[in-house]
A and B are shown apart, each in its own frame.
Chain A
Amino acid sequence: MANDPIHQFHIQKLFPIEVGGMDFSFTNSSLFMVLTVAAASAFLILSTSGRGLVPNRVQSLSEMAYEFVAGMLRSSAGTEGMRFFPLVFSLFMFVLVANLFGMFPYFFTVTSHIIVTFALAMLVILTVTIYGLVRHGLKFFHLFAPAGVPPVLLLIVAPIEVVSFLSRPVSLSVRLFANMLAGHITLKVFAGFVVSMGAAGIAGAAGAILPLGMTVALTALEFLVAFLQAYVFTILTCMYLNDALHPSH
């Protein structure tokens, strides 16, 4: 089924591995995660290997990525937040490269699977919670009890704040996953129109120009979304880290 818009998200086992009844197979998803990490690392290592005082084009590209993430983290979590820079920068590069990899034809989009984005979001939220608890102890729970709320209302407000806190990883992961999934399905559906209309004679082929133009426009939009979602994921990570650093007085 070449025309099936969901087909591109199928997981195929490349090397079946089974340990103790659990499935540890190396799938196409794993392959593209490895490729993503390899590409991001290779880009950063190779582009900064020259260490020019006056950077060349490639080096200034990776310096721009560094400055971009560093500025984002510093402005939302303060200078203190810079200790999380390795985590935030790795997340940004991973999501960005994975999203951009998805734009190659026949490539697998890692971030279009909710389990991947949810794992990334859980990594963020567990870092925030554990670091906040270690650093502030029980004061971290002031996050759930806003100052100036009457004790009676706390019975209602605190559970709502807790659920709101717990819904963060869900909304973080759902946003990234839904954007990538919806974008790729739309792209595939419009591209499928071109093929099926082109097969319907002269009039169909002439009409196929419309979905073709739409496909071109959507491709450009998808590149924008790929970058934007990496940015949104990172900026929200920074905001949550800010919570861990300054939960209360």
Chain B
Amino acid sequence: MSGSSQNGNEDGRTEGTSEADLSERRSRLNRMLEGQRAAEDAERKSRNGKPSGYAQAMKLSSEFIAGIVVGCGMGWVCDHWLGTSPFGLIVFLLIGFAAGVLNVLRAAGEVAHPETRMGRGDANKDGSE
């Protein structure tokens, strides 16, 4: 008890202002904490927003290649089963190419993901009903 009052004396100089002093100090601390939190948030956002070039290259190329590979595979299987060689491969390769471009645009955030687009359509519908 006596120790704490002594501390108050040392920090607040006089006993009369210690209350106002404490609240002032608390608000200053709150301001500092808020500023720090905002800075941390901004840093986290910038880090999430801009992945490293290597990671982005890996992401986009794998998206594009996956589209073409799947299109190719579907075309080959279609030709193999239906005997439509080589038209299945041609058609599905083109579709796969388009899907690959779509994947890349989606991964880069240029085109909305199907789920968000659905969500928007949903909201519109709800609004009209």
- Segment among A33-41, A101-109, A168-176 that sits at the interface with chain B: A168-176
Q: Is the CB of B119 within 8 A of A167?
A: no
What are 7 sample pairs from A and B whose C-beta atoms fall under 8 A apart?
Answer: A146-B117, A160-B95, A163-B96, A163-B98, A164-B103, A239-B115, A243-B115
Q: Tell me if B's interface is mostly helix, strand, loop or mixed.
A: helix
Task: Determine whether the beta carbon of B70 is less than 8 Å from that of A178.
Answer: no
Contacts of B13 in A (CB 8 A): none
Name the distance in Å between B15's Cβ and chain A's nearest Cβ: 37
Q: How far does the Cβ of B102 sit from chain A's closest Cβ, in whole Å?
A: 5
Q: What are the interface flags for A171-202 relative to B under an 8 Å C-beta threshold, 1 for contact and 0 otherwise?
A: 10011001100000000000000000000000
User: Given that A147-B121, A174-B65 are contacting pairs, would A179 and B58 also be in contact in the complex, using a CB cutoff of 8 Å?
Assistant: yes
Interface residue ranges of A139-175 to B (CB < 8 Å): 142-143, 146-148, 159-161, 163-164, 166-168, 170-171, 174-175
- Known A-B contacts A147-B121, A160-B95, A178-B62; the reply to A167 vs B115 at CB < 8 A is no
Cβ contact within 8 Å between A247 and B115: yes
On chain A, the residues within 8 Å of B114 by CB distance are 143, 146, 161, 243
Please report the total number of A residues contacting B with Cβ < 8 Å.
Answer: 28
Q: Roughly how many angstroms separate A242 CA and B62 CA in the complex, as a whole number?
A: 22
> Which residues of B have CB within 8 Å of A74?
none
Which residues of chain B have C-beta atoms less than 8 A from A166's C-beta? 70, 74
**CB proximity of A247 to chain B, nearest CB, Å:** 7
B99 in contact with A163 (CB, 8 Å)? yes
Q: Is A10 an interface residue (CB 8 A)?
A: no
CB-defined contacts of A232 to chain B, threshold 8 Å: 59
**Alpha-carbon distance between A143 and B74 when the two chains are bound, in angstroms:** 20
- Which of A161, A174, A239 is packed against the most chain B CB atoms within 10 Å? A174
A179 to B95 alpha-carbon distance, docked (Å): 27
Bound CA–CA A159/B88 (angstroms): 13
Could you mark each residue 213-249 of chain A with 1 if its beta carbon is under 8 Å from any beta carbon of chain B, else 0?
0000000000000001000100000010011001111
Are B103's CB and A170's CB within 8 A?
A: no
- State whether B65 touches A160 (Cβ < 8 A): no
- The size class of the interface chain B forms with chain A is 20 to 34
Query: Chain A: residues with CB nearer than 8 A to chain B?
Result: 142-143, 146-148, 159-161, 163-164, 166-168, 170-171, 174-175, 178-179, 228, 232, 239, 242-243, 246-249
A249-B100 contact given A163-B70, A163-B74, A171-B62, CB 8 Å threshold: no
The residues of A that contact B74 with a CB separation of less than 8 Å are 163, 166
Q: In the bound complex, do residue A175 and residue B118 qualify as a contact, i.e. CB atoms below 8 Å apart?
A: no
Tell me whether B115 and A249 are in contact (CB under 8 A). no
**Chain A residue nearest in CB terms to B92:** A163
Contacts of B66 in A (CB 8 A): 167-168, 170-171, 174
Please tell me if the beta carbons of B63 and A171 are within 8 angstroms of each other in the complex: yes
Q: Give chain A residues whose Cβ lies under 8 Å from the Cβ of B95.
A: 159-160, 163
Q: Is B69 within 8 A of A170, CB to CB?
A: yes
**For the complex, what is the distance from the CA of A232 to the CA of B102, rounded to whole Å?**
20
For chain B residues 67-101, which have a beta carbon within 8 Å of chain A?
67, 69-71, 74, 92, 95-96, 98-100
For the complex, give the distance between the alpha carbons of A179 and B114 in Å.
27
B10 CB-CB contact with A under 8 Å: no
Closest to A228 in B: B55
Q: Is the CB of A170 within 8 A of B70?
A: yes
Note all chain B residues with C-beta closer than 8 A to A242: 115
Chain B residue nearest to A249 (CB atoms) is B122
User: Could you say which residues of chain A place their CB within 8 Å of the CB of B67?
Assistant: 163-164, 167, 171
A153 to B119: give the CA distance in the assembly, Å. Answer: 21
A228 to B125, CA, bound (A): 39
